[in-house]
Copies of this chain bind each other. A is one copy, B any other.
Amino acid sequence: MSKLSIGVDRGGGRPAFRQIADRVREAVAAGLLAPGDRLPAARVLAAQLGLARGTVDTAYALLAGEGFIEGHGAAGTIVSPLLSPAAPPPPPAPAPVPEIGQVTGVLPFRMGLPALDAFPRTLWSRLAARIARRTGPAELAYPDPAGLPELRESIAAYLRVARGIACTPDQVIVTAGFQGALALAAAALLRPGDPVWVEDPGYFLAHGALRAGGARLVPVPVDPAGLDVAAGVAAAPDARLAVVTPTHQATLGVALSLPRRLALLDWAARQGGWIVEDDYDGEFRYSGHPLPALKSLDRADRVLYAGSFSKVLFPALRLGYLVPPAALHAELVAASRVLQGGLPALEQRIVAAFLAEGHFARHIRKMRGLYAVRRAALADALAAAFGDRLSLTLQAGGMHLLARLADAPPDREMVVRALAAGLAPAAVSTMSPSGRAEEGLLLGFTNVAEAAAPGLAARLATAIGR
């Protein structure tokens, strides 16, 4: 016992015997007392500490009851030999090296972020404060695993008006963003090894969620008309699931053509396959008119329509939604219950109010205008910085530009150089599960202010070599 000092605090709330027992336990956990080590006799320790003998006896009895120490009669009291000697605590695992495309932080050109500077934060925080104040006891309990009714109501109303999807609040399931939606779909639909069509190139985080769910990914090429459905049917007619971005293909930005849409729906109906429609940025369209959602053409009820608030509000919310086929609804809600126990109520209530009070529609309208300006400004700036080498595809919508550069190093190498200069474009080749996609740079324009575009474009040109 010489290895540890026991101090007893008489002013504190905890009884002295508890303090002694705690100190012994800590010493064992920390390795200061080893199994078999002898403790001082209760009488001796009591005298040292100026305590009644009974106090130390109580502490020792407590520790003996827990199996920490053993009384050996006249031979004294020892630390239980059952306890193995303490090893030093293991060092924490090293942080994983971030892969290209998995950059965190708000660097210029980063994909998939809305204009964070333009979000109505003051309005949002007023709503948050009001809703937090109105929280009653019942709203602290487990939330409905399908999502709060008021949020499902707002989402259904929005989808009817904005995306031509006739759905009731009962059909909507609130998810942890698009990743959460995919995790639910994988849990409800996939058996290990099930083939799943994914766009090549496509959204790499979706690939991770599908692989985690047991999928065998079948890369299906994307051309100017979107996913090549015939190629998918040729490669894996028996796929369980196809994950597509029909409005604005997640990498190349093209829209899935109507004949392809119909072919995809036809495949699903004939083969009993399912389709996840990831409509991640359908709201942002700068010219022409959007095709209605694939879901709105879904006569055989095979489409899981997935939307996210990450792109239209902000990603830290971690909220999105699914409108699944009727046959899958109950299983998806059950998956939400067991995998996450529902989603945070406060966030759901804030979003519901933001939608119901009309702020959402106004915000999207405002962002559509802002993005059109930022997109044009960045396109002009890139043209000025790169000149003839640059070939820029301006799709009708979306939140990023696709730049192809003549006489350029491999796109991954350009990204590494850009990252070193504090810029975060992404490489098309890293989005390709087959590795066969063309090369190119993806440049998010939503966080590039109009005035900053020329400077950032020049910095990019310098970083990757003019």
Contacts and interface: CB of A to CB of B under 8 A. Distances in A.
Nearest to A118: B137
A91 to B, nearest CB: 6
Interface in A148-174: 164, 166-168, 170-171
Interface stretch (A76-84, A236-244, A431-439): A76-84
Interface stretch (A42-50, A101-109, A371-379, A456-464): A101-109
A104 B135 CA distance: 18
The winner among A85, A132, A258, A262 for most chain B CB atoms within 10 A is: A132
Contact of A315 (B178, B319, B333, B341): B341
A209 B342 contact: no
A289 B62 contact: yes
A292 B330 contact: no
Contacts of A25: 164, 292
A97 to B, nearest CB: 10
Contact of A347 (B144, B170, B335, B346): B346
Contacts of A421: none
A393 interface: no
A69 to B, nearest CB: 11
A32 to B, nearest CB: 13
Interface stretch (A4-12, A121-129, A272-280, A409-417): A121-129
B125 A137 contact: no
Interface stretch (A295-303, A352-360, A384-392, A399-407): A295-303
Contacts of A18: 289
B104 A142 contact: yes
A38 interface: no
A214 B192 contact: yes
B92 A289 contact: no
A352 to B, nearest CB: 14
B338 A144 contact: no
Contacts of A117: 137
Nearest to A347: B344
A328 B96 CA distance: 11
A455 interface: no
A234 interface: no
Nearest to A125: B132
A141 B90 contact: no
A216 to B, nearest CB: 13
A316 B329 contact: no
A173 to B, nearest CB: 10
A330 to B, nearest CB: 5
Contacts of A205: 337-338, 341
B140 A340 contact: no
A168 to B, nearest CB: 5
Contact of A106 (B141, B265, B342): B141
B346 A316 contact: yes
A313 to B, nearest CB: 8
A141 B314 contact: yes
A75 interface: no
Given A106-B138, A187-B212, A192-B214, A257 B340 contact: no
Nearest to A129: B129
A212 B87 contact: no
Contacts of A93: 170-171, 326-330
Contact of A87 (B187, B299, B317): B299
Nearest to A87: B299
Interface in A209-240: 209, 211-212, 214
B301 A90 contact: yes
A73 B21 CA distance: 95
18 contacts: A25-B292, A66-B258, A67-B259, A82-B262, A83-B297, A90-B326, A92-B168, A93-B326, A105-B141, A121-B136, A128-B129, A129-B129, A141-B315, A176-B176, A179-B340, A205-B338, A208-B337, A209-B339
Given A83-B262, A93-B326, A140-B315, 4 more contacts: A87-B300, A140-B314, A183-B340, A319-B344
Q: Which 10 pairs of residues, A with B, have the shortest CB-CB distance?
A: A67-B258, A208-B338, A129-B129, A93-B329, A140-B314, A128-B132, A316-B345, A125-B132, A116-B137, A92-B170
